[in-house]
């Protein structure tokens, strides 16, 4: 099993040229600032996935021949590596196709009763809001929304007021995909536990960008996706706390999940296999494993520090542009990652994104799957620039130069 921690790339500081050389898609000089949606993939991840297809392409846990044995070993090794990346036990990690599927699976697998209460927030990605609103619509579950301030920031006092003994689950994002601000999930998790409520964290933006120790977050569930952290699309993971997993009646069952089946009943395997019905994304799991190894070799603390430098540099330049508004700026001391939402007055966000694309710069425009948060910010859409470990200050300067031309 791979154990991360050795700094292969950054013994002292960022070796940007070596890292950028691992990403074939950057060879044409285009600038990629859409990392909050999907990150780029290094050749090491591609090679690991190709090795599966070229050397031991077979299903897992279903055969005694050589290929199946190797594939099964590599698949379970991938689970261990992903678990180790967030300091979880391997039997607490289940693979799903993405964060959205993981959250929906958990929502549909818990035993809900009318009168149960769910607490969530205004800043959530739709993937961590719609599943709870559907439970409200279908089963009469009470959903209480914690409001955000005008900058999209949450106050811990509002959670203290919202979470009570009737609360069954608290669901919140760790880092906003719109503003990049980091929520106080550890404190919210403690409040949840004190009220015997479960806590689910959307880690889609946090696991790729900051060091996670799941045992310190006071949560019962965390969902995240490989494609936002240098891995392939089509696979994500859910941390399901060991002493909670037995409470789940899997929303999806079938091949690969059962210990015994009769025509009258069935018994399921132990977690996490009971949560992974059907043939899993084997090559993608192996690629996911290689991606966390890549990030671990560099060091998550160094990645966060580098992104912080890029973000500060970009904001300082953007603030000097007349007519450009940046959203989600919280009070000093609020932790954030490299996500900056902005608009230029008089220019539609989609038009501005298209202009940047014509200059070889990829950004995101729209509501970013967070319409309620857009309403809090008083806008309908923004342009969003989001950074990762292969971006540079020079690329930020090139984006700023386009605004100068506008």
**CATH code for position 257:** 3.40.640.10
SS3 for 227-275, per residue?
Answer: HHCCCCCCCEEEEECCCCHHHCCCCCCCCCCEEEECCCCEEECCCCHHH
CATH number of the domain that residue 384 is part of: 3.90.1150.10
**Residue (of 52, 53, 22, 28) closest to 40 by Cα position:** 22
Q: Are residues 277 and 332 in the same domain?
A: no
Start-to-end Cα distance in the chain: 52
State whether 307 and 282 are in the same domain: no
Do residues 245 and 334 share a domain?
Answer: no
> Please, what's the b/e burial string for 150-182 (b: 16 or more CB within 10 A of its CB; e: otherwise)?
eebbbeeebbeebbeeebbbbbbbbbbbbbbbb
Q: What is the average pLDDT across 305-313? A: 95
Does the residue 45 lie in any domain?
A: no
What is the CB neighbour count within 10 angstroms for residue 270?
10
Does residue 5 sit within a domain?
A: no
By C-alpha distance, which of 177, 210, 172 is closest to 386? 177
Tokens of 126: 């739709």
Q: Is 299 helix (H, G, I), strand (E, B) or coil?
A: coil
Q: In which band, very low, low, confident or very high, does the pLDDT at 330 lie, cut at 50, 70 and 90?
A: low
Number of structural domains found in the chain: 2
7 domain-assigned: no
Mean pLDDT of the 222-241 span: 98
User: Which of 341, 40, 322 is closest to 177 using CA atoms?
Assistant: 341
Instruction: Specify the 3-state DSSP secondary structure of 344.
Output: strand
User: Does any domain span residue 10?
Assistant: no
| Domain range for 401 | 16-40+299-405
Whether 217 and 189 have beta carbons less than 8 Å apart is answered as yes
For residue 70, tell me if it sits in a domain: yes
Give the residue, 21 or 16, on which the prediction is more confident: 21
- For residues 96 and 238, give the distance between their C-alpha atoms in angstroms, rounded to a whole number: 7
The average pLDDT across 80-101 equals 98
Residues 6+ apart with CB under 8 A from 154: 121, 123, 146, 148, 172, 183, 184
pLDDT value of position 1: 37
Residues 196 and 212 in one domain: yes
**Token pair in block for residue 280:** 């899993």
6-15, 159-168, 234-243, range with the lowest pLDDT: 6-15
245 and 348: one domain?
Answer: no
Measured CA to CA, the distance from residue 100 to residue 172 in angstroms comes to: 13
The confidence band for 332, taking pLDDT boundaries of 50, 70 and 90, is low
CA–CA distance, 52 with 308 (Å, rounded to integer): 36
Residue 181's SS3 state is strand
- pLDDT at res. 146: 98
What is the pLDDT confidence band of residue 331, given thresholds at 50, 70 and 90? low
Final residue in a domain of this structure, among 241, 275, 296? 296
More confident residue, 106 or 64: 106
Answer with the one of 248, 269, 296 that is the final residue of a domain.
296
Residue 222's H or E segment, with its range, is strand 221-225
Placement of tokens 């599927």 in the chain: 101
369 among known catalytic residues: yes
Looking at residue 10, its pLDDT comes to 41
Given this model, what pLDDT does residue 405 score?
83
Residues 122 and 152 in one domain: yes
**Does residue 34 sit in the same domain as residue 82?**
no
Quote the pTM value: 0.94
Higher pLDDT, 193 or 3: 193
Catalytic choice (199, 219, 330, 369): 369
- When pLDDT is cut at 50, 70 and 90, the band that residue 5 belongs to is very low
101 and 33 housed in the same domain? no
The rounded mean pLDDT for the chain is 94
The verdict on 338 and 383 lying in the same domain is yes
pLDDT at 86 over 60: yes
Phi then psi dihedrals of residue 386, to 5 deg:
-135, 135
Domain boundary among 237, 270, 296: 296
What is the bridge-based pairing of β-strands 221-225 and 236-240? antiparallel
The mean pLDDT of 282-295, rounded to a whole number, is 98
Do residues 366 and 331 share a domain?
Answer: yes
* pLDDT on residue 114: 87
Owner of token pair 């059907």: 278
The answer to whether residue 222 sits within a structural domain is: yes
Instruction: Specify whether 92 is located in the same domain as 170.
Output: yes
Looking at the structure, tell me whether residues 221 and 315 fall in a common domain.
no
Position 211 in a domain: yes
Is pLDDT of 9 > 50? Answer: no
């Amino acid at each position: 099993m791979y154990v991360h921690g050795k700094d292969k790339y950054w013994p002292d500081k960022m070796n940007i040229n070596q890292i950028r050389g691992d990403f074939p898609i950057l060879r044409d000089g285009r600038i990629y600032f859409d990392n909050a949606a999907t990150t780029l993939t290094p050749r090491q991840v591609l090679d690991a996935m190709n090795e599966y297809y070229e050397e031991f392409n077979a299903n897992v846990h279903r055969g005694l021949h050589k290929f199946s044995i190797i594939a099964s070993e590599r698949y379970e090794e991938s689970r261990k590596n992903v678990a180790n990346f967030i300091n979880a036990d391997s039997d607490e990690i289940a693979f799903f196709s993405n964060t959205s599927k993981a959250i929906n699976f958990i929502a549909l697998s818990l035993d809900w009763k009318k009168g149960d209460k769910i607490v969530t927030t205004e800043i959530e990605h739709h993937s961590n809001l719609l599943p709870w609103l559907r439970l409200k619509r279908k089963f009469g579950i009470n959903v209480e929304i914690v409001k955000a301030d005008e900058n999209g920031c949450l106050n811990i006092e509002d959670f203290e007021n919202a979470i009570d003994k009737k609360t069954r689950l608290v669901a919140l994002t760790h880092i906003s995909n719109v503003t990049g601000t980091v929520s106080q999930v550890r404190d919210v998790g403690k409040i949840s536990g004190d009220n015997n409520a479960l806590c689910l964290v959307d880690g889609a933006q946090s696991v790729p960008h900051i060091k996670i120790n799941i045992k310190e977050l006071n949560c019962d569930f965390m969902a995240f996706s490989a494609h936002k952290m240098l891995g392939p699309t089509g696979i994500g993971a859910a941390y399901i706390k060991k002493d909670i997993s037995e409470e789940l009646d899997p929303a999806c069952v079938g091949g690969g999940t059962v210990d015994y089946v009769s025509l009258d009943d069935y018994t399921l395997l132990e977690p996490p296999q009971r949560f992974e019905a059907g043939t899993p994304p084997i090559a993608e799991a192996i690629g996911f494993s290689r991606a966390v190894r890549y990030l671990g070799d560099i060091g998550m603390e160094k990645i966060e520090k580098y992104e912080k430098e890029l973000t500060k540099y970009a904001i300082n330049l953007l603030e000097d542009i007349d007519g450009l508004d940046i959203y989600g700026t919280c009070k000093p001391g609020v932790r954030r990652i490299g996500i900056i939402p902005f608009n230029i007055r008089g220019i539609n966000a989609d038009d501005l994104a298209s202009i940047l694309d014509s200059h070889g710069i990829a950004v995101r425009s729209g509501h970013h799957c967070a319409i309620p948060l857009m309403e809090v910010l008083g806008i309908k859409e923004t342009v969003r620039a989001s950074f990762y470990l292969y971006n540079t200050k020079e690329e930020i300067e090139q984006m700023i130069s386009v605004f100068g031309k506008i």
